[in-house]
Chain A
Amino acid sequence: MTNPAILLIEDNPDDQALTLRALKKNNILNQVTVVGDGAEALDYLFPADRADPADGVGEELPGLILLDLKLPKVDGLEVLRRIRADERTQIIPVVVLTSSKEEEDILRSYHTGANGYVRKPIDFSDFSDAIKTVGMFWLLLNEAPPRVRPSADPG
């Protein structure tokens, strides 16, 4: 059984690097795809809607999406709304990973269909623990929905 892929949607290169470092440090060795803004994320997830549909066709859908809220072009909530609106992606677990602790952001995320909401801690060891816990739970402990499992999907 192939490990499910992780899609990290994060515009800040520092946070991208720190997240990758935290995953590596915690021995979470699943394939990680990083996209830098909301538009790119949508292109990745819905290749058929792209201007050039041939590009990237056949790529596997991720088993976990880590989503920042504040993104250039298309913001995180809109990306989440589109993920939940599409039949192919609506059951993929999405964990919001953001700096905001605003009640409004948390509520809107859950209303839009987020499976979790994690505020990125400043201290790196705290941050690392958070990434570890999220990865462990969603990639190992949690039973993923069968359809998005790459092995179960003939492509």
Chain B
Amino acid sequence: MKSREASSASPAAAQRRRFHRWWLDRSVRTKGLIVVAIPLITLTAITGANLALQYNERQARSVATAGNALAKVGNQVLADAVNGETGVRGYAATRDPLFLAPYNLMLTRIGAERTALRKAASIEGDSRQQRVVHAATGRVLSDLARLRSAIGSGVPLRALKPMLQRQKGSMDLLRRQVGGLVSGPTAQLNAQRARVNSLEAAINVLNVAGLVLGLLAGLTGIALFTSGISRRVTAAAANADRLGEGRPLEPVERSADDLGHLADSIVRAGALLAARAARRDRPRLALLAAIVDSSDDAIVSSGIDGLITSWNAAAEAIYGYSATEAVGQHAEFILEADRRSDEARILRAFVASQGSNGSSASMHHQTVQRRKDGTTFPASVMFSAIRADDGALIGTSSIARDITERLRAEAELSSRLAELERANQYLETFTYSVSHDLRAPLRGLAGFTAALMEDCGDALGADGRDYAERIQAASGRMAALIDDLLQLSRLWRTEVQDVRPVDLGAEVASIAQELQRGAPDRHVRFTIQDAVWAPVDRVLLRSVLENLVGNAWKFTSHRDGALIEFGATPTKEAPVCCYVRDNGAGFDSAYAGKLFTPFERLHTTDEFPGTGVGLASVQQIVERHGGRVWAEGAVGKGATFYFTLDAKETA
């Protein structure tokens, strides 16, 4: 955004932006090539420039050397010409051929020297001067040759004078020409030297500049690579991570290179995933919407600013405001005015407790809310956080319910419970009273009847004594009835406690022993399975077994070969199913259901004594242990009593 502002500000910036754009759109391979090429090209250019400069320097040096060589050859030609002139002059003066030796020597050398001069001139490139020297040398040589032949032919000295003067003129000309030949290249040489020096300086500058430029180019390449490519790779990787975590992607800089394609692919993948998720979520969202719409609870959502954003049908029904009226209002408008500050505090605390870690929690509280018509009602409200995909808290939802009816039901329930408590209390008092007070008159009845028989037995007569005995027996039965009744009521009141594994077989064996001790004359065969373990309240289960085994004992009393069996068979219904079987009087199976009803008896007291409470107690205890009890039998064929126990019971 910043760069866009800058680009509209100046054309230079626009240029920069265009370059940036161009650079972004190159492929990574091109970018790599460019990054490597920049320093390479820079270094190559510098090396080329260096070589060119060195070539120039070498040229300058060779020109200077050629100039020197020309001057040297020129001086040699001059020196030989002078030697030749001296020899010819000495010959002229003496006519002695001996003086001609230097001249002859000169003649043998001058040819090669003139060739060298021509060569030097050709290297020099500018040969006008050399040609002049050459011509002047030729004139000197021909003058000398003519002079020599004139002397040789004996021309008198006087006659030689014009020839000598002419020869001197030629020699002077040659001297001047050679002088020019030496001084010309010297100036040229100096110029060349200066040029070489300046070239050397230039080469040095170029070397340093090349070094700096190469360094800069390398750094630029690295900068382009790191700041551009690696930054964008990091950004793409971060987006890939976000994609994986299902968070929204960050926008990326568009570009046409590979990295741009990669970034685009990630963005496209994100869009595809989101679309797929939306397609997948659509039925779920529809379901949720249906639930919200059909809910009996008012479901209201608010933004983080507290303004209502949704208002379901139940909310319309409960508060009397339509969704159009409610949406946009502050959520507290359904509260009683004096409750608003409290509620705001609660909501703030709730929002604060949510934090931003994405943990989802809800808060439940009771309050009083107001309908459109101004009436109020107690409400139970559940706040939950609404979060964006990234976990940020974006609002709250509240589910509210009119709990008038519930509170009324709760109040009624608690008053019922209190009543029940009172009733239990009465029952407690009643049974205590029965236990204590009902027995006292009975004891009087029995006691004084006994006294009557003892003290006045004779006066009563046989009938009187029979009546008295009946009074005593009746008192005894009533006492037994009261005791059984009390036992049953105690069972109703007591809880199963102290549950631990008990060997029921061992209990039956000990009960059998007691019974046998109580009636040593009876012969009853017991078959008892041992080690029948079950987790039970030992005292209560002992009472069950006493009742069942006692019954078996009682109902086999009229026959010989009495047999009482105890055992356990596992069934599908319960892990422990015990039975007590006898071969006694049995019962009419049509009345099997009556067996367990209190005070119901299938036999007369004359046949078998009893109150009809024992089996009711058995049923009570077995049911307290999560089991059930039932009986099978037929008249005269004995009876079998089964009971199951819930082995899982661990109260």
Contacts and interface: CB of A to CB of B under 8 A. Distances in A.
Interface of A: 12, 14-15, 18, 21, 69-70, 98-102, 120-125, 127
Nearest to A11: B440
A15 B436 contact: no
B451 A99 contact: no
A18 B443 contact: yes
A30 B441 CA distance: 27
Closest 3 CB pairs of A and B: A14-B444, A124-B450, A122-B479
B398 interface: no
Interface in B419-468: 432, 435-437, 439-444, 446-451
A15 B435 contact: no
B476 A99 contact: no
A150 B443 CA distance: 34
Given A123-B450, A123-B472, 12 more contacts: A14-B444, A15-B443, A18-B448, A100-B435, A101-B435, A120-B443, A121-B443, A122-B479, A123-B446, A124-B446, A127-B443, A127-B447
A122 B443 contact: yes
B301 interface: no
A124 B443 CA distance: 7
Given A99-B435, A101-B435, A122 B448 contact: no
B446 A122 contact: yes
Contact of A15 (B432, B444, B449, B483): B444
Contacts of B483: 101
Interface in B468-521: 472, 475-476, 479, 483, 486
A81 to B, nearest CB: 19
Contact of B475 (A14, A15, A70, A122): A122
A interface: dominant SS: loop
A4 B471 CA distance: 37
A108 to B, nearest CB: 13
A98 B476 contact: no
16 contacts: A12-B444, A14-B444, A15-B440, A15-B443, A18-B444, A99-B437, A100-B432, A121-B443, A122-B446, A123-B450, A123-B472, A123-B475, A124-B446, A124-B447, A124-B451, A124-B472
Contacts of B472: 123-124
Contact of A99 (B439, B446, B449): B439
B440 A99 contact: yes
Majority SS of interface residues in chain B? helix
Contacts, number: 62
Contacts of A70: 436-437
A144 B446 CA distance: 33
Contacts of A101: 435, 483, 486
A130 to B, nearest CB: 11
Contacts of B443: 14-15, 18, 99, 120-122, 124, 127
Contact of B432 (A14, A102, A125): A102
Nearest to A122: B479
B216 to A, nearest CB: 105
Interface of B: 432, 435-437, 439-444, 446-451, 472, 475-476, 479, 483, 486
A135 B525 CA distance: 41
Contacts of A123: 446, 450, 472, 475-476, 479
A113 B448 CA distance: 33
B414 to A, nearest CB: 28
Contacts of B436: 69-70, 98-100
Contact of B447 (A18, A100, A102): A18
A53 B350 CA distance: 75
B465 to A, nearest CB: 15
Contacts of B449: 124
Contacts of B486: 101
B498 to A, nearest CB: 14
A129 to B, nearest CB: 12
Nearest to B433: A70
A122 B450 contact: no
Contacts of B476: 122-123
A33 to B, nearest CB: 21
Nearest to A101: B435
Nearest to B451: A21
A39 to B, nearest CB: 20
Listed residue (B435, B440, B448, B472) with the most chain A CB atoms within 10 angstroms of its CB: B440
Nearest to B443: A122
A127 B441 CA distance: 14
A122 B439 contact: yes
Contacts of B450: 123-125
A121 B448 CA distance: 14
B46 to A, nearest CB: 115
Contacts of B448: 14, 18
Contacts of A121: 443
Contacts of B437: 70, 99
B168 to A, nearest CB: 174
Nearest to B476: A123
Contacts of A122: 439, 442-443, 446, 475-476, 479
B190 to A, nearest CB: 141
Contacts of A124: 443, 446-447, 449-451, 472
Contacts of A100: 432, 435-436
A31 B442 CA distance: 28
A129 B21 CA distance: 121
Contacts of A125: 450
A141 B647 CA distance: 50
Given A101-B483, A122-B476, A124-B450, A14 B435 contact: no
Contacts of B439: 99, 120, 122
B469 to A, nearest CB: 12
A40 to B, nearest CB: 19
Nearest to A100: B436
**Residue with the highest number of chain A CB atoms closer than 10 Å, among B432, B447, B475:** B447
B292 to A, nearest CB: 58
A144 B67 CA distance: 164
A81 B432 CA distance: 21
